[in-house]
Structure 1
Amino acid sequence: MKELLEHLEKRLGKKFDEADVRMAHPLVLAYIGDTIYDLFVRTYLVMAYNVPVHQLHVKAIDFVRAKGQADTLRHIVRFLTEEEQDIVRRGRNAKPGTMPKNASVADYRLATGFESLLGYLYLTGRDERLFEILDYILDNAKEGGKGERG
């Protein structure tokens, strides 16, 4: 993942350093974190299941919907560093302009905190920690049956 950031930094002639990431609005971190998580989940599902696209989409929903992300955060929070918990807190407390119809306010805010964490780890180039968290999520999903429908 670092290669993508390095490529863009070279192309744009601008370095996106840790201070820039720390100063970024939590919703900006959540914006990129949502994409990182979605790409990870979809790639995992394509590699793990030989099923039609509609079934892949149904499986992906379990992971990427706000309730799924909130539940994931509830499971991993005890493994997060204080710095990571602070990023989650900032994301959770950010005031979004809109709310989804199919999620509670509490779940949506936790999901935003989770996405902020993933965005932060990605943008700071902490791939090893990002993959550690994502692997933990997949291990939990296998044990709990998440994404195993159909």
Structure 2
Amino acid sequence: MDEVKANDKLNNCEIVEFLKNSMDLADVDVKTYSPLVLAYIGDCIYDLVIRTMILAKGNAPVNKIHKTVSSYVKANAQMKILHIIEDELTEEEMAVYKRGRNAKSFTSAKNATIVDYRTATGFEALLGYLYLKNRMDRIMELVNFGLTKLEV
């Protein structure tokens, strides 16, 4: 059983490579992506992680699942998680976060302050960067650390 869990962890960390190989996609230097593009994919990854976590708790009406997921993925919750994990970030990760936070976005925050929205964008950029660097293990380490201390 432990071997299966170890293999699952390894396979989960190789998802980017699997997708690239399956679709014959070329490698791209992650540092060439704009911070908003990193945030775009990071938003998707974070949403998938949270949805997976909520669904693992059992079947429920979709509207209840959506409401619960929304409480974790809204800008204010992401801002709180970022502040929880901030001291755990490497210099490189902090630089990516700051690039995302400081990026000029043409969309406005819905139901969030501009500070929460920009912090959440930085958080999503960090997750997108780690995902494209094939560091799902690090994403889960940071998200799990943040979620254990988050009060939604």
Same fold (TM over 0.5): yes
Q: Distance in 2 between matches of 1:118 and 1:16?
A: 18
Check if 1:130 corresponds to 2:136.
no
Unaligned runs of 5+ in 2: 1-11
**For this pair of structures, how many residues does the alignment match?**
141
> Does 1:39 pair with 2:74?
no
Runs ≥4 in structure 1, deviation > 4 angstroms? none
Matched AA of 2:131 = Y
Compute the displacement of 1:38 (Å).
0.2
SS at match of 1:48: coil
- Structure 1 unaligned spans of 5+: none
Normalising by structure 2, what TM-score?
0.85
What residue identity is the alignment partner of 1:124?
A: K
- State the superposition RMSD in angstroms: 1.6
Alpha-carbon distance in structure 1 between the residues aligned to 2:46 and 2:87: 20
Q: Deviations 1:10-63 (Å, cap 9, x if unpaired)?
A: 24434325xx10111000000000000000001100112443211111111111
Aligned residue type for 1:39: L
Task: Give the whole-Å Cα distance in 2 for the aligned partners of 1:16 and 1:24.
Answer: 12
Q: 1:6 aligns with which of 17, 20, 25?
A: 17
Structure 2: distance between partners of 1:37 and 1:95: 21
Paired residue for 1:110? 119
Distance 2:13 2:84 in 1: 27
Residue 15 of structure 1 is matched in structure 2 by 26
Q: Structure 1 residues 50, 13: closer, same or farther in 2, change over 3 A?
A: closer
Q: Which moved more, 1:43-52 or 1:67-76?
A: 43-52
| Deviation per residue, 1:84-111 (Å, 9 max, x gap) | 0000000000001111231111110000
Relative distance call for 1:66 and 1:11 in structure 2 (3 A) is same
How has the CA–CA distance of structure 1 residues 12 and 56 changed in structure 2, closer, same or farther, with 3 Å as cutoff?
closer
Identity of aligned residues (%): 45
Mapping 1:1-150, distance limit 5 Å: 1-17=12-28, 20-141=29-150, 144=151, 146=152
TM-score (norm 1): 0.86
- Contact 2:93/2:126 (<8 A) preserved: yes
Distance 1:132 1:2 in 2: 12
**Contact (CA 8 Å) 2:96, 2:122: kept in 1 or not?**
yes
